[in-house]
Amino acid sequence: MLAKKFARARHEGQRYGEFPYYIHLDEVERLAQPFGINAMIVAQLHDVLEDTTTSVDELVHDFGDKVALAVSYLTDPVAGDRSDKKRQLNQRFLQLDESDEAARLALIVKACDRLSNVKACRLFHPEKFVMYQKEHSEFRKAAYRYGLCEMIWWELDMLIEVGDKIARY
């Protein structure tokens, strides 16, 4: 798959905790697989604008307008600390209309990305897991759409809730 080769080349040398970055990209792609080939492509590319020197024009050239737009929807704003960036990103997600294909892809892949991150942090970085728990309510209000990827959201909600109960004991 071109997207996988492209993403691996662009993220070369980057790490996802103690693992090569492509481990995360492959997990997000695996979660996005039931939603089609374009979701799998966006999953591989979802961090490429944010974490590399790749331009939107390169994505348009290699993968088309729809994929490039979906990836741009997923890209964190440049300015601000984490809470500012997440607030801006959530505002963007709130405005997306899931009847638009690029928006639909972005919302699906964002849920898959968050699930991947929460699963990894629960195992390897409990302090980041707590951060995701604190962000979950606002994130869910912004990115969840009824009927879009219910099983992804169900698993994500359960991990957040179970983690919260474990943390209390």
Question: How many domains does the chain fold into?
Answer: 1
Give the span between the Cα atoms of 76 and 44, in whole angstroms. 16
Is residue 39 a contact partner of residue 108, using CB atoms and an 8 Å limit? yes
98: domain CATH number? Answer: 1.10.3210.10
* Helix pair 37-45, 22-32: axis angle to 10 deg: 160
Residue range 90-106, pLDDT digits in tens = 999 999 999 999 999 99
Q: Is 81 helix (H, G, I), strand (E, B) or coil?
A: coil
Bridge-based pairing state of the strands 15-16 and 19-20: antiparallel
20: part of which helix (H) or strand (E)? Answer: strand 19-20
- Bridge-partner residues for 16, per DSSP? 19
Give the span between the Cα atoms of 118 and 121, in whole angstroms. 5
pLDDT value at residue 168: 46
Is residue 133 a contact partner of residue 164, using CB atoms and an 8 Å limit? yes
Which domain covers residue 56, as residue numbers?
A: 1-167
pLDDT value at residue 15: 94
* Helix pair 56-63, 37-45: axis angle to 10 deg: 150
pLDDT value at residue 165: 60
Going by C-alpha positions, the residue among 16, 13, 76 that lies closest to residue 49 is 76
31: part of which helix (H) or strand (E)? Answer: helix 22-32
Is residue 36 a contact partner of residue 68, using CB atoms and an 8 Å limit? no
pLDDT value at residue 169: 44
From first to last of its 169 residues, the chain has per-residue pLDDT tens of 899 999 999 999 999 988 999 999 999 999 999 999 999 999 999 999 999 999 999 999 999 999 999 999 999 988 889 999 999 999 999 999 999 999 999 999 999 999 999 999 988 899 999 999 999 999 999 999 999 999 999 999 999 988 756 544 4
Q: Which tokens in the block code for residue 109? A: 């892949």
Amino acid letter, 26: D
pLDDT value at residue 164: 55
